[in-house]
Amino acid sequence: MQGFLNLNKPAGWTSHDCVGKLRRAFNTRQIGHGGTLDPDATGVLPIAVGRATRFLQFLSGGKAYRATFVLGQTSTTDDASGEITARHPVPHLQREDVRAVLPQFIGTIAQIPPVYSAIRKQGKRLYELARAGATAESLALEPRRVEIYRIECLAWRAGEYAEIDLDIECGTGTYIRAIARDLGQTLGCGGLMSQLHRTQSGPFHDRDSIPLDTLLESANPDQFLSPIAFAFRDWQAISLDPDSARRWCCGQKLLHPDPDNPNPMKVMQGDRFLGLAQLQDGLLKPLRVLASQG
Domains and CATH numbers, the chain: 3-59+202-230 (3.30.2350.10), 63-201 (3.30.2350.10), 235-289 (2.30.130.10)
Q: What is the mean pLDDT of residues 232-254?
A: 90
**Which pLDDT band holds residue 56 (cuts at 50, 70, 90)?**
very high
Dump strand ranges (E) for the chain: 3-9, 31-33, 42-49, 63-71, 73-75, 84-87, 107-111, 120-121, 124-125, 144-157, 163-170, 191-201, 204-205, 210-211, 237-239, 254-255, 265-269, 272-280, 283-289
234 classed as catalytic: no
pLDDT for residue 32: 96
Q: What is the mean pLDDT of residues 199-215?
A: 96
Q: What is the mean pLDDT of residues 173-191?
A: 96
Residue 235 has pLDDT above 80, yes or no: yes
Q: What is the mean pLDDT of residues 180-205?
A: 97
- What are the tens digits of pLDDT across the range 96-112? 999 999 999 999 999 99
- What are the tens digits of pLDDT across the range 7-52? 999 999 999 999 999 999 999 999 999 988 989 999 999 999 999 9
How many angstroms separate the CA atoms of 277 and 51, rounded? 17
Catalytic residue among 38, 78, 79, 182: 38
pLDDT for residue 294: 38
Residue 60 has pLDDT above 90, yes or no: no
Q: Are 44 and 7 in contact (CB under 8 A)?
A: yes
**Which pLDDT band holds residue 140 (cuts at 50, 70, 90)?**
low
How many angstroms separate the CA atoms of 242 and 156, rounded? 59
Q: What is the mean pLDDT of residues 108-125?
A: 82
3-state helix, strand, coil in the chain (%, to 5): 25, 35, 35
Higher pLDDT, 125 or 10: 10
Residue 259 has pLDDT above 70, yes or no: no
Q: Are 287 and 277 in contact (CB under 8 A)?
A: yes
Is the pTM of the predicted complex or chain greater than 0.75? yes
Q: What is the mean pLDDT of residues 182-210?
A: 97
pLDDT for residue 293: 47
pLDDT for residue 128: 77
